[in-house]
A and B are shown apart, each in its own frame.
Chain A
Amino acid sequence: MSADGQDRSHWFDDEAGPVVRPYAMTRGRTTSAAQHRLDLIAVVVTEPYADDPEDDPTLSPEHVDIVRLCRDSSSTVAELAAGLDLPIGVVRVLVGDLVDGAFVHVNRPVPPAELPDESILRDVINGLRAL
């Protein structure tokens, strides 16, 4: 890759943490083919009739984890990242792959400015009061 000719002796101390490894799970990709730009609170749901991800040799164990986690209850991108201990960027790529493979679908959050009416916001206020 392009770094070959560059500074291969680049030095990182322990503080830098794992530098490249997380993106090995995405085979070095930092965006997925479909360019799914997923919000942190986008909801990932496993398709009910998705093929068994375990049987798909192109999927990594992390892909399989996501399909499994989102099968019984939906999960947001942020929750997946926290639950699988992966950086958000990695989760985005993996979820993008799964969308392409029709294993999951993603519900994008509605920006508040595009909410059809105020009833949802009123529900939020009432819900908070009732906590």
Chain B
Amino acid sequence: MIFGRSERGKPPVEPVTLKILVAGGFGVGKTTLVGAVSEIRPLRTEELLTEAGRPVDDTSGVEAKSTTTVAMDFGRITLREDLVLYLFGTPGQERFWFMWDELSEGALGAVVLADTRRLEDCFAAIDYFERRSIPFLVGVNCFEGAARYPQEDVRRALDLDEHVPLMLCDARDRESGKEALIGVVQHAMARASRRRAVTT
């Protein structure tokens, strides 16, 4: 569709944008969670893995280097006309971890999805956010047919710090996804105020 120039049209709203990451192992339900709470069908962005997009503008090697595509799915929640929350599912494969640095920069926080049948798949994500002091909570995705464990046992198995929230969730369920996101923001706020209390 071609739009004419609308000089007298109101300038578009320039919203404040925030992002929350959804991390976890392959097939744990990241895109499902994004899709459950997003107002749009999750969109896919791709990044070619070469030196492209790096601060160093060195094109030598780019042409000769084989590239890989990393796909990231993301969703959007318009909270107000001028306040929009984006959810990014992080690439699941560990070899794409360097992409996380760029994703996590400026992120409000993260949901780490865990599957009790393959808990070890989310260790790497937990490590990542712990080391970078990015607020996160663990959402145990309750797959049908998976055994339920007491939360304390899961916490212990994950060796979670006591202040990191852990909740049971269903990635397919919108309300459950909302709860997880609210949990992340509350956790981020609590951490920020603790930090302020320490510094002042």
Contact = CB atoms under 8 A, between A and B. Distances in A.
Q: Do A and B come from one complex?
A: yes
Interface of A: 1-3, 6-7, 10, 12, 16-17, 19-20, 22-23, 28-31, 35, 37, 39-43, 45-46, 48-49, 52, 68, 70-74, 76, 78-79, 81-83, 87-90, 92, 107, 109-113, 118, 120-125, 127-129, 131
A74 B48 contact: no
B67 A124 contact: no
B7 interface: yes
A58 to B, nearest CB: 19
A98 B67 CA distance: 26
Contacts of B6: 71-72
A16 B64 CA distance: 13
Contact of B178 (A68, A87, A128): A128
Contacts of B185: 121, 124-125, 128
B45 A78 contact: yes
A72 B17 CA distance: 18
A72 B189 CA distance: 34
Given A72-B6, A72-B12, A127-B77, 5 more contacts: A2-B59, A89-B47, A112-B109, A113-B192, A118-B193
Taking residues whose C-beta sits less than 8 angstroms from the other chain, chain B's interface range is: 35 or more
B86 A81 contact: no
B103 interface: yes
A73 B124 CA distance: 38
Given A35-B55, A128-B181, A6 B64 contact: yes
B186 A30 contact: no
Nearest to B60: A2
B152 interface: no
Can you list the 5 inter-chain pairs with the closest CB atoms, starting with the nearest?
A127-B79, A89-B53, A3-B63, A2-B60, A82-B43
Contacts of A123: 79-80, 83
Given A30-B57, A30-B62, A73 B45 contact: no
